[in-house]
Structure 1
Amino acid sequence: MPRRALDNPIVLAVLGLLLEQSSHPYQILSELRKRSDNHAAAITRGTLYNTVSALAEAGWLAEQGQQRTGNRPERTVYALTEAGRDELVRRLDAHIRTPEREFSQFLGAVSYLGALGPDGAVEALTERAGRLRRRTVADEERLAGALAAGVPRLHVIEAEYALSLARAEMTWIDEVIDDIRNGKLSWPEAAATQPGTDRERADREGGRA
């Protein structure tokens, strides 16, 4: 198994889940997708199974037997080994201590915000902020429900952190929109004349027709 499988970002999540309870890969996959939108979008069944195999090969997981549900095939249940627990603690400690510059699609896109033009930038940012607000409201309700049901705060601390990031992003977007509108964030003349949205491009093309 290639070493890079042990560098996959989901390794930490898999080790963490198995710290809670022994599970088979399908159960791990379902739980990861349920707990995180990012995991739901990024993790494939093949990636998860390859990661579990790599962790077992490294001695961080151990087979604990087989489990059958109904008429489904038997599934191998894995448990965290002492070496796996040590590796989990080591990685957790390193990630929490060391802030990293994480590159997101939004960060890459906002680097070229100027290409949208002032009006296009305001339109796109406004739509993003609206979607973020709707998602944040739903996430807040889900978190409040979990806490009201008696789930310890420590068990949903990642949801709390994600909400803090979303709120900070919405605040920043609102500030940028205001700065564009009041002229504090200005566009170079050449960039400001570029089409900012598909609708604007269509209008311009229609005017030249």
Structure 2
Amino acid sequence: MAKRRKVSNPLALAVLAELMAEPMHPYEMGRRLKEHAKDRNIKYNRSSLYMVVEQLRKAGFVAEQETVRDTQRPERTVYALTEEGRTELHDWMRELVAEPQHEYPAFGVSLSLLMVLPPAEAVELLERRRAALTAEVAEIRATLRKATEEGVGWLFLIEEEYRVGGMDAEIAFVERLITQLQEPDFVRTWQEYFGSLQ
């Protein structure tokens, strides 16, 4: 069972991981997260990043190390990972890697309510989804090939490999669902139960 955490936002986990490398200010954290393509997996903006850093500070996971003054820029507070923060990072990572978590993706919600759409319309929409997924998978694979050719180690690409695996599985699922939605028995049953409600 997932442990209740003082700060549970996934962005907090990414901040703790970035601070393992070295102390830095939030602007630099944001730049590195974007540079390392973590913004593809973790939703954030500048204000949410500053808010999470403050939450981590209050929880004792990061501490202000120094304030840097530069005539070209406003002063910046540099944060460092505390020992408590390092412990939290490792504990949280062990939990996320070992224990499957129930997530609530938007597509799952739409599938649970799919019966409100006429089968022909659902098929058309699913075909559009399949095309979009196929294009995205091709783009990610091209990026992975290029990164591998440039010598980027597989461990630094693992979240994209995971994304492609999930998308491949979703494409296969969508293809089966399209076939099922077009079966005459299903269309007839849908019309009997839901057709009059449209």
Report the TM-score range of the alignment, normalised by the length of the smaller protein. Answer: 0.7 to 0.9
Residue 81 (structure 1) shift: 2.0
Aligned length: 191
Q: Which residue of 2 aligns with 1:9?
A: 10
Percent of residue pairs identical: 35
> Alpha-carbon deviations, 1:25-71, whole Å to 9, x = none?
122223334423243xx313222111101212222112233446772
Q: Which residue of 2 aligns with 1:191?
A: 194
Structure 1 Cα separation of the partners of residues 173 and 71 of structure 2: 51
> Alpha-carbon deviations, 1:176-201, whole Å to 9, x = none?
11222234754422324666xxxxxx
> Alpha-carbon deviations, 1:76-108, whole Å to 9, x = none?
222222221111000001111111110011111
Bigger shift: residues 125-134 or 26-35: 26-35
Structure 2 Cα separation of the partners of residues 141 and 22 of structure 1: 34
Query: Contact conserved, 1:67 with 1:76, CA < 8 A, in 2?
Result: yes
What TM-score, normalized by structure 1, do the two folds share?
0.80
Q: Secondary structure at the match of 1:62?
A: strand
Residue 152 (structure 1) shift: 1.7
* Letter paired with 2:160: A
C-alpha change, 1:19 and 1:116, in structure 2 (3 Å) is same
Q: Secondary structure at the match of 1:87?
A: helix
Q: Which residue of 1 aligns with 2:118?
A: 117
Q: Which residue of 2 aligns with 1:200?
A: none
Q: Which residue of 2 aligns with 1:35?
A: 38
* Letter paired with 1:35: K
Query: Contact conserved, 2:61 with 2:83, CA < 8 A, in 1?
Result: yes
> Alpha-carbon deviations, 1:103-128, whole Å to 9, x = none?
01111111111111110110111101
Q: Which residue of 1 aligns with 2:61?
A: 60
Query: Contact conserved, 1:117 with 1:193, CA < 8 A, in 2?
Result: no
Residue 156 (structure 1) shift: 2.0
Gaps of 5+ in 1: 196-209
* Letter paired with 2:166: L
Structure 1 Cα separation of the partners of residues 155 and 178 of structure 2: 35
Q: Which residue of 2 aligns with 1:102?
A: 103
Query: Contact conserved, 1:5 with 1:51, CA < 8 A, in 2?
Result: no
Q: Secondary structure at the match of 1:102?
A: coil
Query: Contact conserved, 1:116 with 1:194, CA < 8 A, in 2?
Result: no
Structure 2 Cα separation of the partners of residues 4 and 67 of structure 1: 31
1:90 maps onto 2:91 in alignment: yes
What's the RMSD between the two structures over aligned residues?
2.4
Q: Secondary structure at the match of 1:7?
A: coil
Residue 158 (structure 1) shift: 1.3
What TM-score, normalized by structure 2, do the two folds share?
0.84
Bigger shift: residues 131-140 or 21-30: 21-30
C-alpha change, 1:53 and 1:115, in structure 2 (3 Å) is same
Gaps of 5+ in 2: none
Structure 2 Cα separation of the partners of residues 83 and 184 of structure 1: 60
Residue 22 (structure 1) shift: 2.7
C-alpha change, 1:178 and 1:45, in structure 2 (3 Å) is same
Residue 143 (structure 1) shift: 1.9
> Alpha-carbon deviations, 1:148-187, whole Å to 9, x = none?
2222211221111111111111110011112222347544
